[in-house]
Structure 1
Amino acid sequence: MKRVLVTGMGIISAIGENLSENHASLRQGKTGIARAAHFDSRYAALLPFGECACSNERLKELLNLEDSAGYTRTDLLADKAFAEAIKDAALSPNQISSFDTAFISATTVGGMCLTDQLYQDANLKTSGSPYLEAYSCAAHTIRLVENYKIKGFSDTINTACSSSANAIMLGARLIESGRAKRAIVGGVDSLAKYTVNGFNSLKILSSEACKPFDENRDGLNLGEAAAYLVLEAEDVVGNKNAYAEVAGYGNANDAHHPSAMSEEATGAIRSMQEAVESAGISFDRIDYVNAHGTGTLNNDEVELLGMSLLFDEIPPFSSTKSYTGHTLGAAGAVEAVFSILSIVHDEIFASLHVETPMSSQGARAASVFSSEKKLSYALSNSFGFGGNCTSLVFRSIH
């Protein structure tokens, strides 16, 4: 099979509007979780969020959009990260439009970030707004396909919180099997009343900055972000710079509960096993785990149990959701970018806000930034509602 290399990355999140800003915030232990400035909701003044600092107007300026009619915040965030990724990978317009280039994106809320507008349009309370074509899950994907004249295979994935991790997995499989030479993969989600109200009804939103793997954790913070990676077959990369290799991946579903993982960690264990086995390594080769780590009672306990059953000694791990909040469909790609930054620079980013480490399994999340150890392999976990669990293994090539 062909080796799959990461040659470009683009990201916008609560801790930066580009790759370098995100990396600087991770190194400095600077969280982006705070009160929302742009999100219009009764909860904006009550709960903390991982909101991107850019307003829609600022995003339009950065993208030089002459006509932004019908663009949702989801579309804008996706376009911003996508543009950075293809520039970082030095892709030409012809390469982007080639039938050998696939594009796989992911989201959960999509254009439904305009929840009130959707309600008005759906109930015929308007004569038809500019957003009528923006509400589907694939709307942002279609817009990028049209704007960049993408002709190759394209798809949009919604498997909840593992969505963009599955986009990365699918892109890698297309390249390995010879069905594509390159794939632009990732995902996006923006803050929305639709998701905030839904998560609030589950009573898993914290009123404080989330503290994954803390004994007294009490829930997650919702965030928004977009992140894309350019994957290319090794034989077309040539002399181009590459960050890392997508060495392995695994996906499983424990089919246990619509919004909780099985207490036996069935899906989590299976996805991690498949990822490490497909990378052709043993678990003792993993140097760092970017955990799913939502900060909820169920997730952190189950994930830690799964790791304890697979590793003889759990390696350094942390949850970068303590920086960005839980970005839902974008989380897998965001944390893939962060995992790659870890192995490229030999850095372990601290889990923030942990005051009393969880007592179970005798393992503690990294509490301080570290750059003292060579990192060759990183494991990134993304576990979604409905039990859809995906794990990715990235290998250093430096």
Structure 2
Amino acid sequence: MQPGVVVTGIGIISAIGNGIEETLTSLFNKKSGIGKIRWLESSISGIPVAEVRHSTDELAEIAGTKTEPGIFTRNTLLALIAAQQSVEMSKWTDLEAHQTGLVMATTVGGMDYNEKHYQSFLAGLEKGKEVSVLDSSDTTEKLAARFGIHHNITTISTACSSSANAIMLASRLIRNGKLTRVLAGGSDALTRFTLNGFRGLELLSSKGCSPFDAGRDGLTIGEGAAMLMLESDQTADMSKALSRITGYANVNEAYHQTSSSPDGAGAFMAMSECLMSAGLKPGDIGYINAHGTGTGINDLAEGVAIDRLFGKKAPPVSSTKSFTGHTLGAAGAIEAVLSVLAIQEQKIWPSLNIKETMPEISFMPSTEILSLPLNHVMSNSFGFGGNNTSLIFSKV
């Protein structure tokens, strides 16, 4: 019999807090982390972002890297903090006692450190100096070294679906008997590269994102990290299980480099195949944590797809990006943790900043915290290039 996958540890750091307690406090108080730029050195002013509240030096103190040799980027520090929380919650101190893997996701890698030297390199001020390469795998390798993981170590970078795909791959490795435990998730730090890139695409909100609102004007870039400890239900201590991962699917519609298909074909396929993999029907889903970026085309495509799949009986839908901003490669993992917390708390998290629901959809996004029986939560992560992933978390 193929093993099932359970979540035994979660860790999170984002604009709404460091750790589960701070995160829940922000959610219950409907307190968004979106605000003015504080830590990122940027010439852009007036564009809201969702920064983690701590400076890079403060993150290094929290992560315990102050006395360690080597370069620790802001991206890596965020990942280390979230991973430590997840490992501690799962109560695993020796990750080599069983076959443990690491599947990490990011979109910018060490860009937050590299871009600090860009201008001086252009000016020739660092000519002849050794250049440290801090690519997307840098964070993964440092996490593996910190926790003594030597089996399957993988880095995924598929834009905004990156860490959802990391969780999916980790689940597949366990279900197919390759590993018994996997630390999976993602991190992305705020960088000038991403902020300027999305500004160039004219996708940034001038006021803070308002997913599924008729007057939405774009997304809000955020930063953060989340990590989940996944285990086989055949070897895990089930008393520690927070939820099951029962469904996952990834499809690539390849409609456009940066836009979803307006008819929501990719989103529809991802959600449909995810339900099939879990052996569930649309009516079994109690809550959808939507991708919900707040851009015109994304919310239209996802909303149309939800209407098509669920009809007039859609479950409560919300986008927690109105709290955390769009954390890019970390978004899937952050929203996975929020989905697990929804099941633990039996709560529907609200969408903030909705004044008038967009007219093209039939469902009304949840704007208040709801207390409802939750057995299955679907979490959507849809990336550039049409790389669309849906996950289903289920009550143990």
Range of TM-score over shorter length: over 0.9
Once the two structures are TM-superposed, the CA of residue 266 in structure 1 deviates from its matched residue by 1.5
Q: Structure 1's 69 and 13: CA in aligned 2 closer, same or farther, altered over 3 A?
A: same
Q: Residue 62 of structure 2 aligns with which residue?
A: 62
**Equivalent-residue separation in structure 2 for 1:129 and 1:37 (angstroms):** 31
For 1:100-131, what per-residue CA distance to the aligned partner results, in whole angstroms no more than 9, with x for missing partners? 11100000011012353352576564157787
Is the 2:98–2:181 Cα contact (8 Å) retained in structure 1? no
- Aligned pair 1:204/2:203, yes or no? yes
Distance 1:366 1:100, change over 3 A: same
Question: Offset at 1:67?
Answer: 2.6
Q: Distance in 2 between matches of 1:116 and 1:339?
A: 34
User: Which stretches of structure 1, 4 residues or longer, exceed 6 Å deviation after superposition?
Assistant: 128-131
CA distance in 2, matches of 1:131, 1:347: 48
Question: Following superposition of structure 1 onto structure 2, how do residues 43-58 of structure 1 map, counting pairs within 5 Å?
Answer: 43=44, 45-58=45-58
Contact preservation (8 Å) 1:358, 1:364: no
Task: Output the CA distance in 1 between the equivalents of 2:120 and 2:91.
Answer: 40
Residue of structure 1 equivalent to 2:325: 325
Describe the shift of the 1:98–1:91 C-alpha distance in structure 2 as closer, same or farther (beyond 3 A): same
Is 1:31 the counterpart of 2:24 in the alignment?
Answer: no
RMSD: 1.5
Is the Cα contact below 8 Å between 2:121 and 2:127 reproduced in 1? no
Amino acid at match of 1:324: T
Q: Does 1:97 align with 2:101?
A: no
Q: Deviations over 1:346-389 (max 9, x none)?
A: 10111000011111122111011111x10110000000000000
Segment drifting more, 306-315 vs 61-70: 61-70
Deviations 1:287-335 (A, max 9, x none): 0000000000000000000011101311101000000000000000000
- Bigger shift: residues 380-389 or 148-157: 148-157
Displacement after TM superposition at 1:143 (Å)? 1.2
Structure 1: runs of 5 or more not aligned: none
Partner of 1:9: 10
Residue correspondence of structure 1 range 241-320 to structure 2 within 5 A: 241-312=240-311, 313-320=313-320
Q: Pairwise mapping of residues 148-159 of structure 1 onto structure 2 (< 5 A)?
A: 148-159=147-158
In the aligned structure 1, how far is the partner of 2:36 from the partner of 2:215? 22
| AA of the residue aligned to 1:335 | E
- Higher mean displacement: 218-227 or 304-313: 304-313
The one-letter amino acid of 2:16's match is I
Per the normalisation by structure 2, the TM-score is: 0.96
2-side partners of 1:126 and 1:115: how far apart? 13
Does the C-alpha gap of structure 1 residues 338 and 131 become closer, same or farther in structure 2, counting only changes over 3 Å?
Answer: farther
Identity level (%) = 41
CA shift digits 1:138-184 (9 cap, x unpaired): 11111111222211101000000000000000000000000000110
Whole-angstrom CA distance in 1 between matches of 2:43 and 2:130: 25
Query: Is contact 1:77–1:188 with CA below 8 Å preserved after alignment?
Result: yes
* Residues 277/40 of structure 1: CA separation in 2 closer, same or farther (3 Å cut): same
| Cα distance, 1:276 vs structure 2 | 0.7
2:171 corresponds to 1:172: yes
The amino acid across from 2:308 in the alignment is L
Moved more, 196-205 or 234-243: 234-243
- Check 1:118–1:261 CA distance in 2 against 1; reply closer, same or farther (3 A cut): farther
Paired AA for residue 64 in structure 1: G
Contact 1:99 1:151 in 2 (8 A): no
Which residue is 1:231 aligned to?
Answer: 230
Aligned position for 1:86 = 87
Letter in 1 for 2:83: F
> Tell me, which stretches of 5 or more residues in structure 2 are unaligned?
none
